[in-house]
Structure 1
Protein backbone atom coordinates (compact mmCIF):
# COMPACT_ATOMS: atom_id res chain seq x y z
CA UNK A 1 0.00 0.00 0.00
CA UNK A 2 1.48 3.41 -0.98
CA UNK A 3 2.36 5.66 1.90
CA UNK A 4 0.49 8.97 1.88
CA UNK A 5 2.49 11.85 3.29
CA UNK A 6 1.63 15.50 3.73
CA UNK A 7 3.98 16.28 0.82
CA UNK A 8 1.91 14.52 -1.85
CA UNK A 9 -1.68 15.29 -0.95
CA UNK A 10 -3.78 17.45 -3.28
CA UNK A 11 -6.32 19.56 -1.48
CA UNK A 12 -8.43 22.64 -1.91
CA UNK A 13 -7.54 25.71 0.11
CA UNK A 14 -9.78 28.71 0.62
CA UNK A 15 -7.99 31.94 -0.28
CA UNK A 16 -9.12 35.50 0.22
CA UNK A 17 -10.00 37.07 -3.14
CA UNK A 18 -11.00 40.52 -1.86
CA UNK A 19 -14.10 42.46 -0.90
CA UNK A 20 -17.44 41.95 -2.56
CA UNK A 21 -20.75 43.80 -2.45
CA UNK A 22 -21.46 45.39 0.89
CA UNK A 23 -17.86 45.00 2.00
CA UNK A 24 -18.14 41.24 2.48
CA UNK A 25 -15.04 39.12 2.18
CA UNK A 26 -14.94 36.99 -0.97
CA UNK A 27 -13.03 33.70 -1.10
CA UNK A 28 -12.01 31.35 -3.88
CA UNK A 29 -11.26 27.68 -3.45
CA UNK A 30 -7.98 26.79 -5.15
CA UNK A 31 -6.54 23.34 -5.88
CA UNK A 32 -3.09 22.92 -4.34
CA UNK A 33 -0.60 20.25 -3.40
CA UNK A 34 0.62 20.35 0.18
CA UNK A 35 4.40 20.64 0.44
CA UNK A 36 4.43 21.00 4.22
CA UNK A 37 1.88 22.31 6.70
CA UNK A 38 0.75 25.72 5.45
CA UNK A 39 3.03 25.58 2.39
CA UNK A 40 1.23 24.69 -0.84
CA UNK A 41 1.95 24.52 -4.56
CA UNK A 42 -0.89 26.03 -6.59
CA UNK A 43 -2.11 23.43 -9.11
CA UNK A 44 -4.87 25.44 -10.77
CA UNK A 45 -4.66 29.14 -11.57
CA UNK A 46 -7.41 30.96 -9.69
CA UNK A 47 -9.74 33.37 -11.44
CA UNK A 48 -10.28 35.91 -8.68
CA UNK A 49 -7.41 35.55 -6.23
CA UNK A 50 -4.87 38.00 -7.56
CA UNK A 51 -1.13 37.60 -7.44
CA UNK A 52 -0.72 33.86 -8.08
CA UNK A 53 -0.80 31.29 -10.86
CA UNK A 54 -0.38 27.54 -11.21
CA UNK A 55 3.10 26.44 -10.12
CA UNK A 56 3.54 29.10 -7.44
CA UNK A 57 4.32 28.06 -3.90
CA UNK A 58 2.34 29.93 -1.28
CA UNK A 59 2.25 30.01 2.49
CA UNK A 60 -1.39 30.13 3.58
CA UNK A 61 -2.28 32.17 6.65
CA UNK A 62 -5.33 32.08 8.86
CA UNK A 63 -8.32 33.76 7.28
CA UNK A 64 -7.30 32.88 3.71
CA UNK A 65 -4.43 35.31 3.32
CA UNK A 66 -1.22 34.07 1.75
CA UNK A 67 2.27 35.04 0.72
CA UNK A 68 4.10 33.87 -2.37
CA UNK A 69 7.20 31.93 -1.34
CA UNK A 70 8.36 31.00 -4.83
CA UNK A 71 7.06 31.76 -8.32
CA UNK A 72 6.34 28.91 -10.70
CA UNK A 73 7.02 30.97 -13.81
CA UNK A 74 3.46 31.24 -15.12
CA UNK A 75 1.48 34.32 -16.08
CA UNK A 76 -2.23 34.43 -15.29
CA UNK A 77 -4.72 36.23 -17.53
CA UNK A 78 -8.37 36.74 -16.71
CA UNK A 79 -10.80 37.43 -19.56
CA UNK A 80 -14.25 38.81 -18.78
CA UNK A 81 -16.30 38.40 -21.96
CA UNK A 82 -19.03 40.85 -22.98
CA UNK A 83 -21.27 37.83 -23.58
CA UNK A 84 -20.60 34.24 -22.52
CA UNK A 85 -18.61 32.56 -25.31
CA UNK A 86 -19.58 29.19 -26.68
CA UNK A 87 -16.91 26.51 -26.24
CA UNK A 88 -16.31 26.47 -30.03
CA UNK A 89 -15.61 30.23 -29.96
CA UNK A 90 -12.56 29.50 -27.82
CA UNK A 91 -10.79 27.29 -30.37
CA UNK A 92 -8.62 30.12 -31.80
CA UNK A 93 -7.76 31.33 -28.29
CA UNK A 94 -6.90 27.82 -27.09
CA UNK A 95 -4.79 27.21 -30.19
CA UNK A 96 -2.89 30.48 -29.77
CA UNK A 97 -2.06 29.78 -26.13
CA UNK A 98 -1.26 26.11 -26.70
CA UNK A 99 1.40 27.31 -29.17
CA UNK A 100 2.85 29.35 -26.30
CA UNK A 101 2.71 26.40 -23.89
CA UNK A 102 -0.38 27.72 -22.11
CA UNK A 103 -3.75 26.44 -20.97
CA UNK A 104 -7.12 28.14 -21.54
CA UNK A 105 -9.97 27.30 -19.17
CA UNK A 106 -13.67 28.16 -19.42
CA UNK A 107 -15.85 27.19 -16.45
CA UNK A 108 -19.34 25.78 -17.10
CA UNK A 109 -21.07 29.11 -16.40
CA UNK A 110 -18.87 30.78 -19.08
CA UNK A 111 -18.64 34.06 -17.09
CA UNK A 112 -14.88 34.28 -17.41
CA UNK A 113 -11.83 32.63 -18.97
CA UNK A 114 -8.60 31.87 -17.13
CA UNK A 115 -5.37 31.51 -19.09
CA UNK A 116 -2.12 30.19 -17.65
CA UNK A 117 0.96 30.66 -19.83
CA UNK A 118 4.70 30.45 -19.13
CA UNK A 119 6.32 33.85 -18.72
CA UNK A 120 9.08 32.52 -20.96
CA UNK A 121 6.63 32.90 -23.88
CA UNK A 122 7.22 36.65 -23.58
CA UNK A 123 4.81 39.48 -22.94
CA UNK A 124 4.71 40.52 -26.60
CA UNK A 125 3.54 37.07 -27.70
CA UNK A 126 1.07 36.79 -24.82
CA UNK A 127 -0.46 40.19 -25.50
CA UNK A 128 -0.64 39.57 -29.26
CA UNK A 129 -2.45 36.26 -28.66
CA UNK A 130 -5.01 37.72 -26.26
CA UNK A 131 -5.51 40.98 -28.20
CA UNK A 132 -6.07 39.11 -31.48
CA UNK A 133 -8.89 37.13 -29.89
CA UNK A 134 -10.39 39.49 -27.29
CA UNK A 135 -10.00 42.84 -29.07
CA UNK A 136 -12.31 42.24 -32.05
CA UNK A 137 -14.94 40.76 -29.72
CA UNK A 138 -14.77 43.64 -27.23
CA UNK A 139 -13.84 41.37 -24.32
CA UNK A 140 -11.96 42.79 -21.34
CA UNK A 141 -8.80 41.05 -20.15
CA UNK A 142 -6.23 41.69 -17.46
CA UNK A 143 -3.18 40.13 -15.89
CA UNK A 144 -3.76 38.37 -12.60
CA UNK A 145 -0.23 38.13 -11.19
CA UNK A 146 1.90 40.80 -12.86
CA UNK A 147 1.05 43.92 -10.83
CA UNK A 148 0.78 44.67 -7.12
CA UNK A 149 -2.32 46.26 -5.58
CA UNK A 150 -0.97 49.73 -6.47
CA UNK A 151 -0.47 48.80 -10.14
CA UNK A 152 3.32 48.54 -9.99
CA UNK A 153 4.95 45.60 -11.82
CA UNK A 154 5.98 42.76 -9.51
CA UNK A 155 9.01 42.04 -11.73
CA UNK A 156 9.23 38.36 -10.79
CA UNK A 157 9.71 37.20 -14.36
Structure 2
Protein backbone atom coordinates (compact mmCIF):
# COMPACT_ATOMS: atom_id res chain seq x y z
CA UNK A 1 0.00 0.00 0.00
CA UNK A 2 1.62 3.29 -1.00
CA UNK A 3 2.84 5.31 1.95
CA UNK A 4 1.76 2.75 4.58
CA UNK A 5 4.26 0.41 6.24
CA UNK A 6 3.66 -3.10 7.54
CA UNK A 7 4.15 -1.78 11.07
CA UNK A 8 1.34 0.73 10.54
CA UNK A 9 -1.01 -2.07 9.43
CA UNK A 10 -0.54 -3.75 12.81
CA UNK A 11 -3.26 -2.83 15.27
CA UNK A 12 -5.67 -1.65 12.60
CA UNK A 13 -9.23 -0.63 13.29
CA UNK A 14 -12.13 0.75 11.32
CA UNK A 15 -13.97 4.06 11.36
CA UNK A 16 -17.36 4.83 9.89
CA UNK A 17 -17.12 7.93 7.71
CA UNK A 18 -19.84 9.94 6.05
CA UNK A 19 -19.73 9.41 2.28
CA UNK A 20 -22.63 11.70 1.37
CA UNK A 21 -26.30 11.46 0.51
CA UNK A 22 -27.78 8.42 -1.17
CA UNK A 23 -31.07 7.80 -2.91
CA UNK A 24 -33.95 9.40 -1.10
CA UNK A 25 -31.66 11.79 0.75
CA UNK A 26 -30.44 9.20 3.24
CA UNK A 27 -26.95 9.53 4.69
CA UNK A 28 -24.46 7.01 3.30
CA UNK A 29 -21.45 5.81 5.28
CA UNK A 30 -18.36 3.81 4.40
CA UNK A 31 -16.28 1.81 6.85
CA UNK A 32 -12.62 2.66 6.31
CA UNK A 33 -9.56 0.71 7.47
CA UNK A 34 -7.47 2.85 9.81
CA UNK A 35 -5.03 2.75 12.70
CA UNK A 36 -6.03 4.77 15.74
CA UNK A 37 -3.34 7.25 16.79
CA UNK A 38 -5.45 9.05 19.42
CA UNK A 39 -9.13 8.58 20.26
CA UNK A 40 -10.31 10.76 17.35
CA UNK A 41 -7.12 10.80 15.21
CA UNK A 42 -6.63 8.01 12.65
CA UNK A 43 -4.15 6.99 9.99
CA UNK A 44 -6.06 5.88 6.87
CA UNK A 45 -4.72 2.46 5.83
CA UNK A 46 -7.15 1.66 3.03
CA UNK A 47 -8.25 4.20 0.44
CA UNK A 48 -12.04 4.42 0.54
CA UNK A 49 -14.14 4.06 -2.59
CA UNK A 50 -16.95 6.49 -1.76
CA UNK A 51 -15.64 8.83 0.92
CA UNK A 52 -14.11 11.66 -1.04
CA UNK A 53 -11.13 13.73 -0.03
CA UNK A 54 -8.82 11.12 1.50
CA UNK A 55 -6.46 8.31 0.53
CA UNK A 56 -4.29 5.75 2.29
CA UNK A 57 -1.57 7.43 4.31
CA UNK A 58 -3.65 10.46 5.31
CA UNK A 59 -4.18 11.33 8.97
CA UNK A 60 -7.73 12.36 9.73
CA UNK A 61 -9.60 13.66 12.76
CA UNK A 62 -13.01 12.02 12.95
CA UNK A 63 -15.97 13.98 14.32
CA UNK A 64 -19.39 12.91 15.57
CA UNK A 65 -21.65 11.70 12.79
CA UNK A 66 -18.77 10.46 10.62
CA UNK A 67 -17.53 13.80 9.33
CA UNK A 68 -13.77 14.30 9.34
CA UNK A 69 -10.95 16.71 8.61
CA UNK A 70 -7.61 15.91 7.05
CA UNK A 71 -4.84 16.71 9.54
CA UNK A 72 -1.94 15.57 7.35
CA UNK A 73 -1.75 14.26 3.79
CA UNK A 74 0.04 11.01 3.13
CA UNK A 75 1.07 11.95 -0.40
CA UNK A 76 -1.25 9.60 -2.30
CA UNK A 77 -3.88 10.40 -4.86
CA UNK A 78 -6.97 8.30 -5.32
CA UNK A 79 -8.68 7.41 -8.58
CA UNK A 80 -12.11 5.83 -8.72
CA UNK A 81 -12.91 3.86 -11.88
CA UNK A 82 -16.48 2.89 -12.71
CA UNK A 83 -16.26 0.21 -15.39
CA UNK A 84 -18.88 -0.01 -18.13
CA UNK A 85 -18.93 -3.72 -17.27
CA UNK A 86 -17.00 -5.68 -14.64
CA UNK A 87 -13.47 -6.34 -15.91
CA UNK A 88 -11.99 -9.83 -15.96
CA UNK A 89 -8.72 -10.78 -14.26
CA UNK A 90 -6.83 -10.80 -17.57
CA UNK A 91 -8.17 -7.35 -18.41
CA UNK A 92 -7.00 -5.99 -15.04
CA UNK A 93 -3.43 -7.28 -15.39
CA UNK A 94 -2.20 -4.37 -17.56
CA UNK A 95 -3.79 -1.84 -15.19
CA UNK A 96 -2.18 -3.48 -12.14
CA UNK A 97 1.20 -3.69 -13.90
CA UNK A 98 1.09 -0.03 -14.91
CA UNK A 99 0.25 1.22 -11.44
CA UNK A 100 2.69 -1.20 -9.79
CA UNK A 101 5.38 0.49 -11.88
CA UNK A 102 4.21 3.87 -10.53
CA UNK A 103 4.30 2.65 -6.91
CA UNK A 104 0.52 2.38 -6.73
CA UNK A 105 -2.04 -0.26 -5.93
CA UNK A 106 -5.24 -1.30 -7.74
CA UNK A 107 -8.09 -2.66 -5.58
CA UNK A 108 -11.64 -3.77 -6.30
CA UNK A 109 -14.41 -5.67 -4.54
CA UNK A 110 -15.32 -9.23 -5.58
CA UNK A 111 -18.25 -7.99 -7.70
CA UNK A 112 -15.80 -5.75 -9.64
CA UNK A 113 -18.32 -2.89 -9.88
CA UNK A 114 -15.66 -0.26 -9.18
CA UNK A 115 -11.89 0.03 -8.95
CA UNK A 116 -9.94 2.13 -6.45
CA UNK A 117 -6.39 3.11 -7.38
CA UNK A 118 -4.00 4.63 -4.86
CA UNK A 119 -0.82 6.08 -6.32
CA UNK A 120 1.83 8.46 -4.97
CA UNK A 121 1.35 12.03 -6.15
CA UNK A 122 5.10 12.00 -6.82
CA UNK A 123 4.35 9.87 -9.90
CA UNK A 124 2.99 13.08 -11.47
CA UNK A 125 -0.49 13.93 -12.65
CA UNK A 126 0.42 13.78 -16.35
CA UNK A 127 1.85 10.29 -15.91
CA UNK A 128 -1.10 9.09 -13.83
CA UNK A 129 -3.66 10.50 -16.26
CA UNK A 130 -1.88 8.98 -19.26
CA UNK A 131 -1.79 5.60 -17.51
CA UNK A 132 -5.46 5.59 -16.51
CA UNK A 133 -6.67 6.95 -19.85
CA UNK A 134 -4.69 4.29 -21.74
CA UNK A 135 -6.65 1.61 -19.90
CA UNK A 136 -10.09 3.23 -19.51
CA UNK A 137 -10.71 5.02 -22.82
CA UNK A 138 -10.61 1.95 -25.12
CA UNK A 139 -12.93 0.12 -22.71
CA UNK A 140 -15.45 2.95 -22.29
CA UNK A 141 -14.86 3.16 -18.53
CA UNK A 142 -15.30 6.35 -16.50
CA UNK A 143 -12.73 7.50 -13.93
CA UNK A 144 -12.34 10.46 -11.60
CA UNK A 145 -10.07 11.74 -8.88
CA UNK A 146 -11.37 11.28 -5.37
CA UNK A 147 -9.06 13.51 -3.33
CA UNK A 148 -7.81 16.16 -5.75
CA UNK A 149 -10.76 18.60 -5.96
CA UNK A 150 -13.03 20.22 -3.40
CA UNK A 151 -16.84 19.89 -3.71
CA UNK A 152 -16.89 22.98 -5.97
CA UNK A 153 -14.34 21.49 -8.38
CA UNK A 154 -11.37 23.58 -7.28
CA UNK A 155 -7.98 21.85 -6.93
CA UNK A 156 -7.03 21.19 -3.31
CA UNK A 157 -3.33 21.71 -4.15
CA UNK A 158 -2.15 19.60 -1.21
CA UNK A 159 0.55 18.08 -3.47
CA UNK A 160 2.37 21.41 -3.98
Corresponding position of 2:11: 9
- Cα RMSD of the aligned pairs, angstroms, is 0.7
Corresponding position of 2:5: none
The Cα shift of 1:9 comes to: 3.0
Identify which of 39, 42, 54 aligns with 1:40: 42
Identify which of 69, 73, 76 aligns with 1:74: 76
1:137 and 1:9 map into 2 onto residues whose CA distance is 39
Identify which of 110, 119, 122 aligns with 2:121: 119
1:20 and 1:121 map into 2 onto residues whose CA distance is 33
Superposition pairs of residues 139-150 of structure 1, within 5 angstroms:
139-150=141-152
The Cα shift of 1:86 comes to: 1.1
Corresponding position of 2:32: 30
Runs of 4+ in 1 over 2 A off after TM superposition: none
1:120 and 1:154 map into 2 onto residues whose CA distance is 16
- TM-score when normalising by structure 1: 0.94
The Cα shift of 1:75 comes to: 0.3
Question: Is 1:100 equivalent to 2:96 in the alignment?
Answer: no
1:87 and 1:111 map into 2 onto residues whose CA distance is 13
Corresponding position of 1:4: none
Identify which of 85, 90, 100 aligns with 2:87: 85
Equivalences, count = 150
**Who wins on radius of gyration, i.e. which is larger?**
1
The Cα shift of 1:102 comes to: 0.2
